[in-house]
Amino acid sequence: MRLLLAEDEPDLLRGLSQSLREEGYAVDTASDGEAALYLAQSIAFDAVILDVMLPKLEGWEVLRRLRLTRKTPVLLLTARDRTADRVRGLDLGADDYLVKPFDLSELFARLRALIRRSASEARPVLTLGDVEVSPAARTVTLRGKPVDLTPREYALLEYLGLHRGEVISRSTLYEHLFDENNDSASNLLDVHVSNIRKKLGHDFILTRRGHGYLIEA
């Protein structure tokens, strides 16, 4: 899953983006509102974490303009004791908010919920035949037994699993699994698919030549 983090406070931007990457997300960053809007309009992020108070263009305006063209889930970061800000944000099309300072565990849980909802998935554990995927624990089991996946393999499996029944193109997978800093890993998509098949069964991920990959519903 690929996130945009828009935050102008350098330490927070650095710390948060590192924590999100350790949690398995691909992360692009913006330190002002104009950059955030440009990126959010250009790339199909799985979610945007948007600080309300940003230089050049406030978070409100980023959100308002983004909603003209995209329904990307947006989680607002707001200041304490600003109920009016949160109401305004939700009314402008934000999907959720967090009040600063917040616990990372809560941010991660809210992101998982946002991403689940945007894929119309209500259940927190994905059941894919004999395979179960738990995004909260980032664990995978096959017939009840744990299976070790690398972070990349896990990310690929989670994305295809959330969109099971749909053929997902290679370009869509590149867009959702790798951030701007990560082009070197892009050509390994086939290797990741092959490794997942070795671990979960050859027919678990199907190839539709010229179209992409599919996990059957």
CA–CA gap between residue 25 and residue 147 (Å, rounded): 20
Cβ proximity to Ca ion, 59 vs 135, nearer residue = 59
Cβ proximity to Ca ion, 7 vs 179, nearer residue = 7
Cβ proximity to Ca ion, 35 vs 156, nearer residue = 35
Which part of the chain contacts Ca ion (CB under 5 A), choosing from 44-52, 142-150, 159-167, 204-212? 44-52
- Give the total of residues touching Ca ion (CB under 5 A): 3
Residue 172's nearest CA partner among 128, 213, 133 is 213
43 scored as a contact of Ca ion (CB under 5 A) = no
Site for Ca ion in 65-104 (CB under 5 A): none
CB of 77 to Ca ion, least distance (A): 8
- With a CB cutoff of 8 Å and minimum separation 6, the contacts of 210 are none
CA 65 to chain centre: 21
CA–CA gap between residue 172 and residue 174 (Å, rounded): 5
Decide if 74 contacts 48 (C-beta within 8 A). yes
Question: What is 72-135 written as a DSSP string?
Answer: --EEEEE-TT-HHHHHHHHHTT--EEEESS--HHHHHHHHHHHHHHHTT---SSEEETTEEEET
53 scored as a contact of Ca ion (CB under 5 A) = yes
Cβ proximity to Ca ion, 19 vs 182, nearer residue = 19
CB of 40 to Ca ion, least distance (A): 16
CA–CA gap between residue 52 and residue 63 (Å, rounded): 9
8 scored as a contact of Ca ion (CB under 5 A) = yes
Cβ proximity to Ca ion, 33 vs 135, nearer residue = 33
Which part of the chain contacts Ca ion (CB under 5 A), choosing from 6-14, 149-157, 158-166, 205-213? 6-14
Residue selected from 51, 96, 158, 179 as contacting Ca ion according to rule CB under 5 A = 51
Instruction: Provide the binding-site residues for Ca ion, judged by CB under 5 A.
Output: 8, 51, 53
